[in-house]
Structure 1
């Protein structure tokens, strides 16, 4: 006979007979429920992992890992600060910048934007924007020629192409014979970039730093110096370390200061989604309780006979734990297979569904990104698998204990 006896009988009870099709249907429902819950958990967590990664890469591709600034003033001696920052062994890149809010106009089209004055030869050290040009090139920003590079959404709103001119209106006023008027300067569009994040494609314009300094009248000073470290996640303590080395009133703000609440909200949402979807698995797992309770009731005579033949209460308990565990294991494995397959193909399935239904799940003007990313992490798969198996095992304990308490004489009285 198949050994151990608990495993043999437990596996035998998982096969349906003609008189207990309803029990088998409940077992199948429990198995499918666990599979769907595990699939949903793996897929949703993978999408949220991808969402967090994409946001971090795109945001930090524009805002840099840390920024050096002087409290309440422009940095006049920025070259020495730049050189000192580059001497830090963990700093991979540094570049000065001049920031200012402006109004861009072209014909009847008007839009507010943030103009960032940069040095084209150094921008690639701290930003990924140089790799996302649709038209033109960042090297076409030449001092004195008043060239400007626009995000794709901003260019589309203003209806401009490379070679067109846009009027930049600075909010800082100047006095002349007709009174107080804002400063106005015409810039020629030299390029269009698309970083894939609506906030930046819609609200950022790049010009040469010298042109920005003349526009905002910062003289030889700069708004700040952007830094890139060799380790993104080490930015908070590296920023504090660098701030301690810099003289004067300079401060160093890392990316977590500006975006900490946003990424914390994403992580919290991921945790909440894990808990909510785990409840689906829990409901399906505890369907095993009702399945095994009905099986125990149906098998009262069989249990009594096994007990009279010498099977211990612990072995009876093991029989029904095996039966419930089979349902949980099969459902979990099916869910893991389905979740992995779905998570690895989200980027192709979602666009196909959007084309088929004629809708867009993530409008770019509402969400930070317009594509549904997915990043499968094996530690998530392991954690989800473990939770599903534990819940399935826990669900078998009460029915199995109840079966072990069956009194042989009482069960066989009316047989």
Structure 2
């Protein structure tokens, strides 16, 4: 809207409180604050939900790959053939052997369920997710035949373990004796403790060289699965489709979406639901703008009539009141963006402060999966929120502006 000089002057005058108009100004300020809170809430929630998905995806894929080709009975013989075929498939970055087996671990008189993960030594050294999150010890000590292993930080706390301490792994696949099968118990030293930030991994993972895992589980040269990384995770099914005939009789191909479908679907549904619910806050704020403009029009009825007699056009008066409403909405949007940005920047400190004040554990990693509150702001989503608030603010100005423009100066000034 392009305003001429006198229209800008009137709009500016109506934005500031006049004599006896303190209540109208208070309602307008509340409207501005409501818009700010609505916009901030939308930006914060959408950013946190995006951060959840991104963090979970990076950490889960960083340890599990984009897909696995897993043997039906937990053993994959002649895995080299599948790995070679996978590497030759267009769109595949790597295909590496992997062993995963749930076992029991004991140390210091404590027993915990663990997930033993056998990985090639070169993959242990190059895995950024683990190597960049080592809390103590050294991943370089986890080598074949050394008897050293790496464990998650929360598992270390549960077992009272530390670098250099011993942990016994108990496998049900043991020696056959006249009285039955005797479980196989092998002792290892803790070489490193890592914390990737996903509770389930930090609470259960025991990482060792694949050769040691084969000896522990008596697999010989077999592995449990082949882990695959692809160029485009969203098209992993299409990329690995050519491998289906080769794996059909002895293995199943499972991608990251199937392995974590319930989690990611729940996040997406919650994200959409939160957007819809929090959009109602903006809608309520817009109704506040509507009510404040209606009150302003009622208070300025005499001024409007005088302006009409002085030659002000209906269109000009509509532009004035529409500008007032849109300005309130725009200032609220800018303030909301600032509040949202500050909250996201200090998000973990704010969560810790609330936990300290309330004495409640608001961020339990066993429930939230991640150890810290994540956030990832999508500029497109922020633009969507801004446009939504602007459009609603504009629509809220139409009726009051029309009401002001339709004022009959003869009726208003008849008894003046």
Superposition TM-score, scaled by structure 1 size = 0.90
> Deviation at 1:258?
0.9
Do 2:105 and 2:114's aligned partners in 1 also have CA atoms closer than 8 Å? Answer: yes
The alpha-carbon distance between structure 1 residues 125 and 69, as it changes in their structure 2 partners (threshold 3 A), is: farther
Q: What secondary structure sits across from 2:363 in the alignment?
A: coil
Cα-to-partner distance string for 1:238-265 (whole Å, 9 max, x where unaligned): 2324436768544322111111221121
Partner of 2:148: 147
The alpha-carbon distance between structure 1 residues 131 and 343, as it changes in their structure 2 partners (threshold 3 A), is: closer
Question: Higher mean Cα deviation, 135-144 or 203-212?
Answer: 135-144
Partner of 1:336: 337
1: CA distance, partners of 2:60 / 2:74: 25
2: CA distance, partners of 1:370 / 1:87: 38
1: CA distance, partners of 2:60 / 2:141: 24
Are 1:39 and 2:33 counterparts?
no
> Deviation at 1:5?
4.3
Do 2:315 and 2:405's aligned partners in 1 also have CA atoms closer than 8 Å? Answer: yes
2: CA distance, partners of 1:108 / 1:246: 43
Gaps of 5+ in 2: none
Partner of 2:281: 280
Alpha-carbon RMSD:
2.6
> Deviation at 1:67?
0.6
Do 1:46 and 1:374's aligned partners in 2 also have CA atoms closer than 8 Å? Answer: yes
Cα-to-partner distance string for 1:135-156 (whole Å, 9 max, x where unaligned): 3344434444543321111112
1: CA distance, partners of 2:69 / 2:405: 70
The alpha-carbon distance between structure 1 residues 251 and 179, as it changes in their structure 2 partners (threshold 3 A), is: closer
2: CA distance, partners of 1:130 / 1:316: 66
Matches within 5 A, 1:12-27: 12-27=13-28
Partner of 1:312: 313
Matches within 5 A, 1:120-135: 120-123=121-124, 128-135=129-136
Partner of 1:212: 213
Cα-to-partner distance string for 1:30-57 (whole Å, 9 max, x where unaligned): 1121122222222232222222221111
Partner of 1:372: 373
1: CA distance, partners of 2:74 / 2:50: 39
Partner of 1:395: 396
Superposition TM-score, scaled by structure 2 size = 0.90
Do 1:347 and 1:374's aligned partners in 2 also have CA atoms closer than 8 Å? Answer: no
Cα-to-partner distance string for 1:286-322 (whole Å, 9 max, x where unaligned): 1111111111111222222333334333333222111
Cα-to-partner distance string for 1:344-399 (whole Å, 9 max, x where unaligned): 33345545665677765313333211212222222222111111111111111111
Q: What secondary structure sits across from 1:222 in the alignment?
A: coil
- What is the number of equivalent residue pairs in this alignment? 414
Partner of 2:191: 190
Are 1:257 and 2:279 counterparts?
no
Question: Higher mean Cα deviation, 19-28 or 69-78?
Answer: 69-78
1: CA distance, partners of 2:135 / 2:296: 65
Question: Higher mean Cα deviation, 367-376 or 245-254?
Answer: 245-254
Partner of 2:405: 404
Do 1:165 and 1:187's aligned partners in 2 also have CA atoms closer than 8 Å? Answer: yes
2: CA distance, partners of 1:105 / 1:117: 19
The alpha-carbon distance between structure 1 residues 125 and 229, as it changes in their structure 2 partners (threshold 3 A), is: farther
> Deviation at 1:82?
1.7
2: CA distance, partners of 1:229 / 1:306: 69
> Deviation at 1:115?
0.9
Q: What secondary structure sits across from 1:240 in the alignment?
A: helix
Partner of 1:362: 363
Matches within 5 A, 1:52-131: 52-72=53-73, 74-123=75-124, 128-131=129-132
1: CA distance, partners of 2:20 / 2:99: 80
1: CA distance, partners of 2:188 / 2:332: 63
